[in-house]
Chains A and B, each alone.
Chain A
Amino acid sequence: MINSRFFNRSELLGFLALAVLLLVILPLSLDIFRLNLVAKYLTYAFVGIGLVLCWGYGGILSLGQGVFFGLGGYCMAMYLKLEASSVANTKIQSTPGIPDFMDWNQLTSLPFFWKPFHSFPITLLAILLVPAFFALIIGAAMFKRRVGGVYFAIITQAIAAILTILIVGQQGYTGGINGITDLRTLHGWDIRTDHAKFILYFVEVVLLFGCIVAAQFIRLTKLGRILVAMREQEDRVRFSGYSVANFKIFAFCAAAVFAAIGGAMFTLEVGFMSPSFVGIVPSIEMVIYTAVGGRMSIFGAVWGALLVNFAKTSLSESFPQLWLFGLGALFIAVVLAFPNGLSGIWADHVQPRIDRLLASRKSKSAAGMIADGAPAE
């Protein structure tokens, strides 16, 4: 490895700044409603980290991250829903013990794919494995045949559309357009109280830092360098004897798993999951957060998710007419003027100034020391 340190100085500072903000400043300064909103924004940061790996480093633009976000979220929601619809809770239904929307749709028994979600460990495994497996199939089918770039983006977008139509259409099995709602407890622990939301926020932040470290690890190993090489000159990497497809599949699967963790946390924080977080529009929005934050920067993706969502909420609260104009203009501006997003602006304009300031202060204090030392001579 060329860079032997895991985080260089500025990355360490970025990590610490983010940690202080998320773990100290925000929990102390915001009420629980706002903190829960921040938690909701942060679920998109998971997706963003995955996109940095797969899009920024690997050059694979996926417009179907909502699929994986949704799969993770639905796995969690299915577990929570089964726990919420115990026989005691649902005794007024014609078939007690199954989720209410199944009862409304004249289902009399639990479908087979819901059964494993009675168990919490299997649910946790499913949150990680189902999206990874899905991504593996899509990735293997596409990358082995050297489908890439624009075509991959459009096909993943079509998959997002298919999954949404399927979820909406199969109301009895999935809860339809309303999604899976009325979730109550996680393993017997009520997730609707303010206290639970507070704890879930910290769980999420810790998970987020875990994902940041994992992504940083992938980025710094040889694997990360091959990803960059592939993005720049795919053929040369192939001629050097690397299997380009396998590396792409790995990056895509990793991004899918990150997105799924975000989705599962989303279900826990917000208390429901619906197809409106799966389809084309949310998938593209996730890409946009990453683009605004900076597609080449893991921290940038986190900041992008936080800031764009914060802007979206505050603008749509105060100027419901204007916020779509603002959002659209922001995307155009980012693409045209700042292709590397906020982190690019930081690295090009702010960081050099800070460095210069520090350097000049250092040389000044060094000069001062000499000056101080001079009279004593």
Chain B
Amino acid sequence: MFGDYSISDLGAILAMQGFAGLILFSVYVLMALGLAIIFGQMGVINMAHGEFMILGAYVTWMTSNAVQHTAPWLFPGYFFIAMILAFIASGALGMLVEWALIRHLYKRPLDTLLATWGLSLILQQAYRSIFGAREVGVELPEWMMGSWQATDSIQIPINGMFVMGLTILITIVVFYILFWSSWGKQVRAVVQNRVMAGAVGINTEKVDRYTFGLGCGIAGIAGSAFTMIGSTGPTAGQLYIVDTFLVVVFGGAASLFGTIASAFSISQTQSTLEFFLSGSMAKVITLLTIVAILMVRPQGLFALKVRK
């Protein structure tokens, strides 16, 4: 298998494959962070999470078109505007959904699964009716195209580095919000004991709504980041939903740190296996390994010790 490559070639391949794994890792983290808040913290099984990401992707696509036609001088930086818009759009839709749907179902977590599945069908058809069934792609500004030549044989795509940087930034922000801000304390209090949190004067309904909105907003940013790597179609969200749930469950549902660790291990396993096997077999083996580990250790990698 290695006979045809020299040592330096192998090193370059390993480095590039490792970097491909790191990009996949960033994508997984972006996808899973929002779900880790919604599913891990709030316990809501949001099957429409993929559709919130796709909303972000479509917002980015619309922004890119609008900027190209009305304000071309803004084009190099339009991504930052698009991301903020994607966050606001997905977050607002998330809060609307929480108000109309989710808040009636906090006591029946399995039923949120069915209801949000219905929601995802509606959203998919809405995207298809509004944007058409064809996949759309955005045009990248010039500085994001091409790749960075690290050495003679190692090339690293710039949009991948941008996604990685973005992931790190968003992760830090989410950690700050949840673990250092007073609002984050309220969120965690509501998650741990809704009744007691209400008793000490926290407005649990408001906290729920904003938490759900935050999770959906991050999904919107993830979708926006996706447009840099691939194209967007009305049903693209369904492709990611299983992966995303597995990342969150494998990490230990209530632990944000676990989510990141599991995203890292899953993405590295998959990208390494992809080098040796076909893409579909790499995926099968990765998923099987996760399922097998979850059967042995159902609480995931990092479990919080809580008394039931």
Contact = CB atoms under 8 A, between A and B. Distances in A.
Interface in B85-115: 101, 104-105, 108-111, 113-115
Contact of B290 (A145, A158, A281, A336): A158
A287 B47 CA distance: 14
A63 B294 CA distance: 16
A155 B129 CA distance: 33
Given A287-B114, A327-B118, A332-B118, A155 B294 contact: yes
Nearest to A235: B308
B109 A284 contact: no
Interface stretch (A88-96, A159-167, A187-195): A159-167
Contacts of A329: 118, 122
Interface stretch (B57-65, B164-172, B267-275, B281-289): B281-289
Interface residues of chain A: helix, strand, loop or mixed (majority): helix
B114 A169 contact: no
Contacts of A169: 278, 280-281, 284
Contacts of B45: 150, 153-154
A327 B47 CA distance: 15
Interface in A295-337: 321, 324-325, 327-332, 334-336
B132 interface: no
A116 B75 CA distance: 63
Contact of B125 (A280, A281, A325): A325
Interface in A134-164: 141-142, 145-147, 149-151, 153-155, 157-159, 161-162
B124 interface: yes
B129 A331 contact: no
Contacts of A166: 280, 284
Contact of A335 (B115, B281, B283): B115
Contacts of B125: 321, 324-325, 328
A246 B8 CA distance: 56
B115 A332 contact: yes
A164 to B, nearest CB: 10
Contacts of B210: none
Nearest to A323: B125
B238 interface: yes
B203 to A, nearest CB: 23
B140 to A, nearest CB: 30
Interface of B: 43, 45, 47, 101, 104-105, 108-111, 113-115, 117-122, 124-126, 129, 238, 241-242, 245-246, 249, 253, 278, 280-281, 283-284, 287-288, 290-291, 294-296, 298
14 contacts: A147-B294, A149-B109, A153-B113, A155-B291, A158-B291, A162-B288, A321-B129, A324-B122, A325-B121, A328-B122, A329-B118, A332-B118, A336-B101, A336-B115
Given A154-B45, A162-B291, 17 more contacts: A142-B298, A145-B295, A145-B298, A147-B294, A151-B249, A158-B246, A165-B287, A169-B278, A280-B238, A288-B117, A291-B114, A324-B122, A325-B121, A328-B121, A330-B118, A331-B115, A331-B118
Interface of A: 61, 63, 141-142, 145-147, 149-151, 153-155, 157-159, 161-162, 165-166, 168-169, 280-281, 284, 287-288, 291, 321, 324-325, 327-332, 334-336, 339
